[in-house]
Amino acid sequence: MWKSPFGHIDPITTSTAAALLCSVFTQRLASRQSELWSETLGWLLLPIVFRVVGRRKQDDSKTWGEAPLGNPEPQPATAASLWLVALSIVTFCIFRAEGFMIAFFPILTPLLLVAQRYLRSDVRTSADSRIFSPFVNTVWGTAVAALFVILTMLDWDFRWYTLLIIPAAALLVLFDVLTSGNIKGSRFIQPFDVEQAIVPLAVRVIILLAILLGVEKVAFDFATSEPLMTLTLGLAKALTWHFIIQTARNSSWRTVTTTATFSIISTLDPFTQTLGAQALSHVLASLLALGQVIHILPRQAATKWALWVFSLASLVPYIANTIAIQTAQSSLVHSQEHPIAALIHNAKADFESLVKRQSRNYTAAHNEYRRRYAVNPPTGFKAWFEYATLHQSPIIDDFDQLYESISPLWKLSGKEIQGIMNRVYETSDSDLWLCTFTSEEAQTNCTHPYRIADRNIQNYLNELFENLRGVFPDVKFLINHLDEPRVMVPPSPKEDSHSGLNRTTKALTDFTLAHMGGQPVWDKLTKFCPAEKTTRRAEPNHPVQTYDIPFVTDLPGTMDLCSHPEYRSLNGLALSPTSFKLIEGLVPVLSCGAPSTMSDFLYPPAAYIEPGFRYDEAGDVEWDAKRNNLYWAGSTTGGYAGDDKWRYYHRQRFVMLAQNLERRAYYYLSEVGGV
């Protein structure tokens, strides 16, 4: 009668499988934000896990090879030994939290083998495989395997690698103390059974981690986030430690280093690799590490071959990546133009078409204005046309954005508009500049209730208008010098458009001023969005095949806040603006930028004429001298960082995206041989 080979899986194979599974799961969940918190939680849960899951029977340990932790008769742990092991664990956690120790972890396997052979005379070996025996039982073989794995993960930036001596030494001390079975320890440093001493060891680890978290909080004000993820990761780490200890008790502590190596290399995402050969090398390295894990186990573990199923952890993503690349390449065969090239080509064609259809003389510009807006051009339009053509402006007719901004004010008289501007300017902490253009002198004078420096606004305007003496009438206008926009125009009760540009309040000259700096403002930004969002999108003039990669093809639709609630947590302005002095009402204010739901008049900022903001080709780095690194060298502007949400601000997200700090999968298209 046929019997399934899985009818009885030996305990050592079971614990090893659980250790591999939990280790891979932990590695996939790991994040900088929750690393130390989850480690603390893991050690808090570990004694409970031992009690709930249950300890291995001593008979099992005697059956499967080496005595528990290499100690025939476990010695009581001394305080010095416990503190030394706890300090080693916490040191490793610190470096792992900062992103170190990943590449050089495999070197611990040959170092531990050397330490075991030097300190012990009864190191058991497994010789059931001619292929893997050298990579398991010999120093040179484990060193070659470690070197291969390390080379597949190196980024060749050696500036920080000298620091890796610290965590490597800490782990070596840890494993040395737990493995030194036949060597008599000193009076203070005694090898011990970690399972028997799990409670006092966990207490010491938690104390050290708590001190570290306290220092981190005081010094850097780091806050934990995503408590559910931290709880899950903490439990996963506790289970990982439990099953790792169970496996090591019945085999060797080298299973710890090889299991950790496998979890690190097998969870590297092939979709993020630049070269296919690099992704393949990661698969081979993971198979080598898994083979070491399996063949370190004693011969009596008859079903340990079943552990090869964990090779799917690296094989499945690699195969999926290969299929995705081949599919993309197959799709590109039918298109001789890359999507980015197509988008650039179409954008240039659209702009050239826009420029070509502009009016070439005043009569044509006058007629086009009447056709577009069904009214005569304003006073001074001819002078403006001459000014624009004199300065070679490529755009003469297409100023719909400006027209839409001004349109609501047609419901008010000039006197009412001046009255609103004066009242807003005089309102406490409105923080606006009131500028007056004098036609006779062609000079602009800007004043502020309490500020002196105007960020070069007045000089900027005088430079623009210096040759327009007597051309335009005297004008007063408000300018916002802050980076954040200022104005929202509420829609009238009977209208549902979210633009707010052609709507009025019930009292046309009323306004409110609210200070919301440092607060989430998304709900305020979208309060006038229609209840039923339209999903209709304007089709681009030249559709582009993007192969499901999220290129922007509909600019107005992409910028519409009402259609994209996911933007709530993707920009510092929505999350926590540095300043947000919101004016609700029909108030004309010039600002340098505004989202789709706000009604500021947009104008080019004064920074455009300042030397420090101008592009200087001489400052460019030669292409061959560039390196694949990106650092944010400026101030951390873009929002008020009062909590842990700063990492979601747009500039910080750009750095995270460029460095792929979240280790996500991104798709890239490339041309090979013109295809």
Which one, of 118, 124, 114, lies nearest residue 296 by Cα? 124
Domain assignment of residue 37, yes or no = yes
Q: Based on the domain organization, do 500 and 367 belong to the same domain?
A: no
Q: What is the pLDDT of residues 269-281, one digit of tens each?
A: 887 776 778 888 8
Domain assignment of residue 658, yes or no = no
Q: How many other β-carbons are positioned within 10 Å of the β-carbon of residue 535?
A: 7
The pairing of beta strand 443-447 with beta strand 433-438: antiparallel
E strand spans, 489-644: 511-515, 581-585, 589-591, 601-602
List C-alpha distances in Å: 288 to 146, 213, 597. Answer: 9, 37, 57
Structural domain ending residue among the three candidates 611, 638, 656: 611
What secondary structure does DSSP assign to 381-435, as a single string?
HHHHHHHHHHTT-S-SS--HHHHHHHGGGGGS-HHHHHHHHHHHHHSTT---EEE
Q: Based on the domain organization, do 261 and 385 belong to the same domain?
A: no
pLDDT at 612: 76
Domain assignment of residue 674, yes or no = no
For residue 165, give both structure tokens. Answer: 């001596």
pLDDT of 609 over the 50 cut:
yes
Cβ(448)–Cβ(433) below 8 Å: yes
Domain assignment of residue 662, yes or no = no
Cα distance between residue 355 and residue 394, in whole Å = 6
Q: Based on the domain organization, do 303 and 369 belong to the same domain?
A: no
Q: Based on the domain organization, do 217 and 276 belong to the same domain?
A: yes
Q: How many other β-carbons are positioned within 10 Å of the β-carbon of residue 185?
A: 15
Cα distance between residue 14 and residue 31, in whole Å = 28
- Mean pLDDT, to the nearest integer, of 545-562? 79
**Helix or strand or coil: residue 183?**
coil
The pairing of beta strand 475-479 with beta strand 581-585: unpaired
Q: What is the pLDDT of residues 370-423, one digit of tens each?
A: 999 888 998 889 988 998 998 899 999 988 888 888 888 888 888 999 999 999
For residue 673, name the pLDDT band (cuts at 50, 70, 90): low
- Mean pLDDT, to the nearest integer, of 631-635? 67
Q: Based on the domain organization, do 175 and 98 belong to the same domain?
A: yes
Asked which of 52-56, 107-111, 176-180, 571-575 is least confident by mean pLDDT, the reply is 176-180
Residue of 100 and 134 predicted with greater confidence: 134
Cβ(149)–Cβ(282) below 8 Å: no
Q: Based on the domain organization, do 455 and 485 belong to the same domain?
A: yes
Domain assignment of residue 229, yes or no = yes
pLDDT at 159: 54
Q: Which residues of 9-42 are buried (b: 16+ CB within 10 A; e: fewer)?
A: ebbbbbbbbbbbbbbbbbbebbbebbbbbbbbbb
Cα distance between residue 454 and residue 487, in whole Å = 20
Cα distance between residue 12 and residue 306, in whole Å = 12
Q: Based on the domain organization, do 113 and 183 belong to the same domain?
A: yes
Domain range spanning residue 457?
402-531+551-611
Cα distance between residue 20 and residue 293, in whole Å = 9
Domain assignment of residue 480, yes or no = yes
Q: What is the pLDDT of residues 35-93, one digit of tens each?
A: 888 888 988 998 888 888 765 444 444 444 444 444 445 567 778 778 888 887 887 77
Q: Based on the domain organization, do 234 and 366 belong to the same domain?
A: no
Q: Based on the domain organization, do 254 and 105 belong to the same domain?
A: yes
pLDDT of 125 over the 60 cut:
no
H or E element in which residue 488 lies: strand 487-488
Which one, of 481, 555, 572, lies nearest residue 519 by Cα? 572
- Mean pLDDT, to the nearest integer, of 275-288? 86
pLDDT at 557: 87
Number of structural domains in the chain: 3
Q: What percent of the chain shows pLDDT beyond 70?
A: 75
Asked which of 65-69, 195-199, 216-220, 265-269 is least confident by mean pLDDT, the reply is 65-69
List C-alpha distances in Å: 3 to 7, 8, 300, 334, 517. Answer: 7, 10, 19, 53, 71
Domain assignment of residue 652, yes or no = no
Structural domain ending residue among the three candidates 304, 330, 356: 330
For residue 350, give both structure tokens. Answer: 């659209």
Structural domain ending residue among the three candidates 378, 398, 418: 398
- Mean pLDDT, to the nearest integer, of 298-314? 86
H or E element in which residue 444 lies: strand 443-447
Amino acid at 463: E
pLDDT of 308 over the 50 cut:
yes
pLDDT of 336 over the 80 cut:
no
Residue of 173 and 412 predicted with greater confidence: 412
Q: Based on the domain organization, do 197 and 159 belong to the same domain?
A: yes
Q: How many other β-carbons are positioned within 10 Å of the β-carbon of residue 67?
A: 18
Q: Is the dihedral of CA 107, 110, 112, 118 positive or negative?
A: negative
Cα distance between residue 262 and residue 311, in whole Å = 9
